[in-house]
Structure 1
Amino acid sequence: MSNLTVKDLEILQDTLNQVGLDYQLELDEGKILVMGPSDIISSEVGVQLIRLLGSWVYPRRLGRLFDSSGAFILPDTNLKVPDVSFVRAQRLKKSVRYFGELTPDLVVEIKSQSDRIKSLKQKIKKYLELGAQVGILIDPDEEIVIVYRSNGEEIELKNGDILTIPELFGEWELSIFELWPPVFDEDE
């Protein structure tokens, strides 16, 4: 079987959409991967991170944030869809109505119920090889965040720790505890 391309992925996506199937697709080494929907905890963590980052990024015009619907054609011709990503303003001055054709500066993968940590780590390390400055793996089950930097540095953060990404966001800080979905008591 021949290697598939982004064009093949687009044709398949259009066909699926025409019959009412809304699957997220990625292209990896010439193979199309079908991604199922995320669980709601992973989704909520992603929304929270985008909200907290966005309140810092957009007023300062630092760049653009993307959710898990934003796909990127990477320099190795693979098409990937990080759960959360960021591209500095000087690298993407205007959004286009197509896939981003670059590696984001920040990529975030949030472990969902069906994900395997090992494959998520490999995915993040590949982003770093292709030019990402920072990769973050968030594991809501264990309530840990692992930060990978392009220089090989790897830091594990837990509740009580503070996430900083000075190379992209200056003095921005996030308490790890703020990422996790709240529990609402019946009395509230």
Structure 2
Amino acid sequence: MHKSLGNQDMELPLKIRSVAGMTDDMFFDLCQANSQLLMERDKHGNIIVMAPTGSDTGNYNFELGFQLGLWNRETGLGYVFDSSAGFTLPDSAVRSPDVSWIVKDRWEALTDTERSRFAPICPDLVVEVRSASDSLPDLQRKMEAYRANGARLGWLIDRENKQVFVYRADGSIEIKKGTSLQISGEEVLPGLTVEVGF
């Protein structure tokens, strides 16, 4: 879907209203049959089809995931996931954060079958990076939903406005601003510091 905003054109995600009778297995099969598309499902059963990110955003996401992966390799505390991993949240939404992390014992408590599909778990850390096609209010609502479903720490990185929203399990939101920031894994990912450049 293409929408003009003044002089700026913006690609918006396609939203398909809830399909009656679509089970979790059917949604998983739909995603596998259309693997070239990135699809999520909200808690109401609506399917959201999103455009691929631009190359610059893809590189940015990789660099974030790489920093998290290095820390995780050294500590062995959990598992890191990229944006192609889908998770079934407790409210039945299926989401694919740009980068996410799950503590080791929670992930390993899942069965092999659960892990091979859209695992029924909310990551401990969720990271969303705002791309040119993303609405900031929509992403903020998504971050609140992650927190309501059990995420212990969330980072919403708004590159356009050079700011990071840090969502914590206690309900607080901290906004960090600047051209070059460091964000911490706090008590959720102890010892992790990530460089966030804009």
**TM-score, normalization by structure 2:** 0.81
Root-mean-square deviation (CA, aligned residues, Å) is 1.8
Q: Cα deviation per residue 1:62-116 (whole Å; 9 max; x = unaligned)?
A: 1011010000011111111111110001111277322221000011111111100
Matches within 5 A, 1:77-156: 77-93=92-108, 96-156=115-175
When residues 117 and 60 of structure 1 are mapped into structure 2, their CA distance, relative to the original with a 3 A threshold, is same
Partner of 2:74: 59
Matches within 5 A, 1:14-93: 14-17=32-35, 22-28=36-42, 29-93=44-108
Q: What code does the residue aligned with 1:41 have?
A: D
Measure how far apart 1:3 and its partner are: 5.7
1:11 aligns with 2:29: yes
Of 123-132 and 3-12, deviating more is: 3-12
Runs of 4+ residues deviating >6 angstroms: none
Q: Tell me if structure 2 keeps the 8 A contact 1:108–1:135.
A: yes
Structure holding more strand per residue: 2
When residues 60 and 13 of structure 1 are mapped into structure 2, their CA distance, relative to the original with a 3 A threshold, is same
SS of the residue aligned with 1:91? helix
Equivalent pairs, count: 174
Q: Cα deviation per residue 1:145-186 (whole Å; 9 max; x = unaligned)?
A: 111111122112223442112222212222333xx4xxxxxx
When residues 38 and 2 of structure 1 are mapped into structure 2, their CA distance, relative to the original with a 3 A threshold, is same
Of 92-101 and 109-118, deviating more is: 92-101
Q: Tell me if structure 1 keeps the 8 A contact 2:28–2:117.
A: no
Of 6-15 and 120-129, deviating more is: 6-15
Return the alpha-carbon distance in structure 2 between the equivalents of residues 105 and 116 of structure 1. 24
1:165 aligns with 2:185: yes
Gaps of 5+ in 2: 1-18
Q: What code does the residue aligned with 2:39 have?
A: L
**TM-score, normalization by structure 1:** 0.85
Return the alpha-carbon distance in structure 2 between the equivalents of residues 74 and 15 of structure 1. 22
Measure how far apart 1:26 and its partner are: 0.8
Gaps of 5+ in 1: 181-188
Measure how far apart 1:12 and its partner are: 2.3
Identity %: 30
SS of the residue aligned with 2:187? helix
When residues 31 and 60 of structure 1 are mapped into structure 2, their CA distance, relative to the original with a 3 A threshold, is same
